[in-house]
Amino acid sequence: MSRFTGQFMEMLGAAPKKPDNISAKAQQIMFLKYEDKDRFIKEKLHARAHHETSHKWRNRRWAVLIATNLLFVLSFWLDIQILEGALTASRFVGFHLIDLNSALQVMLAHKHVIVNLFIGTFTVFILWVLLGGRSFCSWVCPYHLVAEWTEALHLKLVDKKMVTDHQFHRGARTVFWVLFGLMALVTGYTVFETISPTGILSRALIYGPGLALGWVLLLLLFEVFWSRRAWCRYICPIGLTYGVVGAISPLRVSYHVEHCFHEGDCRKVCLVPHVLDVTIKGRASDETQGLGPDCTRCGLCVDTCPTGALRFEVKGLSKLL
């Protein structure tokens, strides 16, 4: 099985596996680490002692996410017609932008390809192919930001042993993706759009709050007291749709095994830690490789890594600063 196929299957819910083949360069790097274990441990302790977690990429991401959603609000309230509509369907200075998952749901409900929707999705498709599909989740989706803030409360409660984090099989998201599609096809109604916290929050910010915000609050409470980031991890089909689209993106978080101390801090902060399975000793198939398509490009692992083993890069070019 190729690395790409394995990463794609992991996105659908398969458990990460050890690579079938490891390049000679990667083997040599790991051999040197084991051969001079004392020096490796000293360097690891030194790096951890002198590393302060940066929030550079997190702050950039929050700024972009807030600015994007605020532009929707200002365009509506000031009637300046820059970014009209909401995240599900909008128009940016005359260009129609339609969320790929929303367009898919609508066409399934209507049971035919709607030409106007297809045209409206083209710009969005190209955009997220370039940026990496699941970057929509962490750089644009308002629910992701709210859930990220409440996640801190969940982790505090877990640390104090006041709640237990319940995990589900990641394949549940693929099942929900199929179920929401079938419901649209059978009922002729976009069921997912009705309950999507992404759409609910986007419309509430622009047009004012409604009763649907109660559903969003219930989701957040479930995530605080029962399961960490449950909606994004196990249910929401938007991430899966964009993950498929962004699988070939040149923009990626890349992993450099030579600089890694395998301490695992990156996996602790990651929303989708299975994409960082490669950071475990013996799991890298090459000296440098991009993370899988389920990566949200949130940058938390890049900020956390004490040695720069994880970096934002454009494939074939130098790292982003």
**What string of DSSP letters covers 88-118?**
TEEEETTEEEE-HHHHHHHHHHHTS--HHHH
Cα–Cα distance between 303 and 54 in angstroms, integer?
5
Contacts of 55 (CB under 8 A, 6+ apart): 303
For residue 137, is pLDDT > 70?
A: yes
Contact of 69 with 75, CB cutoff 8 Å: no
Confidence class of residue 160 from pLDDT cuts 50, 70 and 90? Answer: very high
Average pLDDT over residues 126-154: 93
Phi, psi of 52 (to 5 degrees): -110, 125
pLDDT 10s digits, 181-193: 999 999 999 999 9
Please give the pLDDT value at position 123.
85
Mean local confidence (pLDDT), 205-217:
95
Indicate the range of 5-19, 27-41, 161-175 predicted with least confidence: 27-41
Match 């859930």 to its residue by tokens. 147
User: What's residue 132's pLDDT?
Assistant: 83
pLDDT score at 36: 67
Task: Output the pLDDT for position 37.
Answer: 66
Phi, psi of 132 (to 5 degrees): 100, 115
* pLDDT of res. 30: 81
**Would you place residue 320 in the very low, low, confident or very high pLDDT band (cuts 50, 70, 90)?**
low
Of residues 308, 303, 300, the one with CA closest to residue 155: 300
Question: How much is the average pLDDT of 263-279?
Answer: 93
- Other CB atoms within a 10 A radius of the CB of residue 202 amount to 24
Largest CA distance in the chain: 66
Continuous segment of H or E residues that includes residue 84: strand 83-86
Q: Which residue would you say has higher pLDDT here, 47 or 139?
A: 139
Under 8 Å between Cβ of 76 and 206: yes
In Å, how far are 3, 47, 52, 220 from 62, measured between CA atoms?
Answer: 31, 27, 20, 19
| Minimum mean pLDDT range among 31-45, 67-81, 85-99, 231-245 | 31-45
Tens of pLDDT, residue by residue over 24-63, are 898 888 887 777 666 666 766 666 666 677 899 999 999 9
pLDDT confidence of residue 318: 61
